Amino acid sequence: MRDVIIACDFKNQDELFKFLEPFKGLNPFLKIGMEIFYKEGPQLVRKLKDMGCKIFLDLKLHDIPNTVEKAMRNIADLGVEITNVHAAGGILMMQAARRGLDSNPNGKNTKLIAVTQLTSISQQILEEELHIHEPLSEVVKAYALNAKKAGLDGVVCSALEAPIIKELGLISVTPGIRFQDDAVGDQKRVATPSYAKELGSTYIVVGRSITASADPVAAYKRCVKEFC
Residues with catalytic annotation? Answer: 60
* Residues in contact with 218: Cβ distance below 8 Å, sequence separation at least 6, in sequence order: none
Which x/- pattern, by CB under 6 A, does the window 7-26 give for ligand C5P? x-x-----------------
**Is residue 208 a contact point for ligand C5P (CB under 6 A)?**
yes
Sites for ligand C5P among residues 101-160 (CB under 6 A): 118-119, 156
114 Rama class: left (phi>0) / alpha (psi -120 to 50) / beta: beta
Which residues touch 129 (CB under 8 Å, ≥6 apart)? none
Q: In whole angstroms, what is the distance from residue 58 CA to residue 34 CA?
A: 7
Residues 28-47 as x/- pattern, contact with ligand C5P by CB under 6 A = -----x--------------
- Tell me which of 4, 204, 206, 223 binds ligand C5P, using CB under 6 A: 206
Residue among 108 and 215 whose Cβ is closer to ligand C5P = 215
Q: Report the alpha-carbon distance of residue 129 to residue 31 in Å, rounded.
A: 29
Nearest CB to ligand C5P, comparing residues 38 and 50? 38
Say how far residue 160 (Cα) sits from the centre of its chain: 15
User: How many angstroms separate the CA atoms of 129 and 127, rounded?
Assistant: 6
Shortest Cβ 115–ligand C5P spacing (Å): 7
Give how many residues touch ligand C5P by CB under 6 A: 15
Choose the stretch contacting ligand C5P; rule: CB under 6 A; options: 13-21, 64-72, 88-96, 207-215.
207-215
The residue nearest ligand C5P at its CB is 207
Identity of the residue, 77 or 182, whose beta carbon is nearer to ligand C5P in the bound complex: 182
Short-list 208, 37, 143, CA closest to 157:
143
What's CA 11's distance to the chain center, in Å?
18
**Any contact of residue 89 with ligand C5P (CB under 6 A)?**
no
- Measured from the CB of residue 103, what is the shortest distance to ligand C5P in angstroms? 27
Exposure letters 140-155 (e unless 16+ CB within 10 A, then b): bbebbbbbbebebbbb
Closer by beta carbon to ligand C5P, 32 or else 101: 32
Given a contact cutoff of 8 angstroms between Cβ atoms, the answer to whether 37 and 11 are in contact is no
The answer to whether 187 contacts ligand C5P (rule: CB under 6 A) is yes
Q: Which residues contact ligand C5P by CB under 6 A?
A: 7, 9, 33, 118-119, 156, 175-177, 187, 205-209
